Amino acid sequence: MVGRAVRRRPASPAPGAPRGADVNTLVPGVRDGDSFLHRRNPVAKFVAVFAVSAALLGVFDPATPALLYALALLAVGVLGRVGMRVLAAAQLPFFAFAVSLLAVNAVSRGGTVIVSAGWFSITDDGLAVGTSLALRTMVIGTCSVGFVLTTDPVRLLTSMQRQLRLPPQVAYGMLAGYRLLGMLPGEWRSIRRAHAVRQPRTRHGRAPRTPRALARAAITLLVLALRRGERLAVALESRGLGAGERTVWRPVVVTGGDVVFLVAVALVVAGTFAVTAWAGLLRGPGAL
C-alpha cells in the first residue's frame, strides 16, 4: 500500500514581521523593510544625518530647528514607515537632554528678565537660545533614530566597505561588537535569574538589588562578554579575515534614488534657512 505524500504548509512569518520581509539572522531583531528610507544606501542616509546636524551648529533661533524638527518627524514617519509611538519612545533620552539644555540656558544667560523666582531668573535671550539648543537636540535625535530604525547593520557595514573603503577587519569587528551588545541585555537577565535561584529573595519575591548583588552580576557579565569577544575574534581569524580581498553576497551600490534623496535633503535644509531668514527669525552665533 502506497501512502500519500504529506504536504506541509509553509511556516508562518514571525509575529510583527512585515509581509515579504527577510528576517536578518546575523543581527537579532533587525528585519528588512520596504519603505523609501529602508531602500536608501546606508552611507547616503549617514551623510544626510551628518549634513543636517552640521547645518544646525551655527543656528541659535528657535524657529529654524522647530521647522526642521517637524519636517524630520514627517519624513521618518511617512518615508520610513515608523510608528509615532515607537518614534516617541525612542526620543525620550534626547528629550531629557533637551530639557536640561533649556533649563540651564534659560537661567544662566543675560537679557531681559521674564520670570524671577528666588535665586533664579529666566531671561528672554536665555530662553530663546535654550529653546534653540533643545530643538536642535530633538532634530538630531529624530534623524538618528530614523537612521537606526531603517538601516540594517549588515548593509551599513557593506556600504561602508564599498563606498568609504572601510577595511574588512574594522567592518566585521564592528558588526561582531554590535551583535555582542545586542545579546548583553538577555545575558544580564539570565545572570540575575541564576543568582536569584541561589540566594534568598526579598520580601516581595524579587532578586536582591543591593550594590553587592548588582556588582556580582556586573562582573559575571563582564567575564561572559570577554569570553564571547575572544571566541568571535578566533572565529573571524579562522575564516581568513584580512587575508585578501573579500567579496560580499549582496553588494550595496549608490542608485539614482540615493542621489535624489541627498539633493532633496539639501533643498529642504536650504529652503528652511531661506524661509526663516526672509521672516527675520534666523539668528547665528551673534545671538550668544
Instruction: Tell me, yes or no, whether 211 and 259 share the same domain.
Output: no
How high is the pLDDT of residue 37? 92
Structural domain harbouring 104: 36-157+251-287
Residue 131 lies in a domain: yes
Residues in the chain predicted with pLDDT less than 70, given as ranges, are: 1-33, 111, 118, 199-205, 240, 242-246, 287-288
Instruction: Tell me, yes or no, whether 227 and 94 share the same domain.
Output: no
Instruction: Tell me, yes or no, whether 135 and 115 share the same domain.
Output: yes
Residue 83 lies in a domain: yes
Residue 20 lies in a domain: no
Instruction: Tell me, yes or no, whether 73 and 185 share the same domain.
Output: no
Distance CA 130, CA 98 (A): 9
Judged by DSSP in three states, 5 sits in coil
Instruction: Tell me, yes or no, whether 47 and 144 share the same domain.
Output: yes
How high is the pLDDT of residue 260? 95
Instruction: Tell me, yes or no, whether 135 and 227 share the same domain.
Output: no
Residue 84 to residues 9, 89, 151, 257, Cα–Cα distance (Å): 35, 8, 18, 25
Residue 228 to residues 180, 218, 219, 222, 234, Cα–Cα distance (Å): 8, 15, 14, 10, 10
Element of type H or E holding 274: helix 256-278
Residue 73 lies in a domain: yes
Instruction: Tell me, yes or no, whether 279 and 230 share the same domain.
Output: no
Residue 29 lies in a domain: no
Number of domains in the chain: 2
Nearest to 50 by CA among 266, 264, 254, 259: 266
DSSP calls for 30-61: -B---SHHHHS-HHHHHHHHHHHHHHTTT---
DSSP code of 14? Answer: P
How high is the pLDDT of residue 26? 40
Instruction: Tell me, yes or no, whether 218 and 137 share the same domain.
Output: no
Instruction: Tell me, yes or no, whether 43 and 129 share the same domain.
Output: yes
How high is the pLDDT of residue 118? 67
Amino acid 26 reads L
Residue 30 lies in a domain: no
Q: How many residues does the chain have?
A: 288
Instruction: Tell me, yes or no, whether 74 and 123 share the same domain.
Output: yes
Amino acid 216 reads R
On the CB side of 140, CA atoms within 13 Å amount to 17
Q: Is residue 167 left, alpha or beta, with left meaning phi > 0 and alpha meaning psi from -120 to 50?
A: beta
Residue 273 lies in a domain: yes
DSSP calls for 201-253: --TTS-----HHHHHHHHHHHHHHHHHHHHHHHHHHHHTTTTSS----SS---
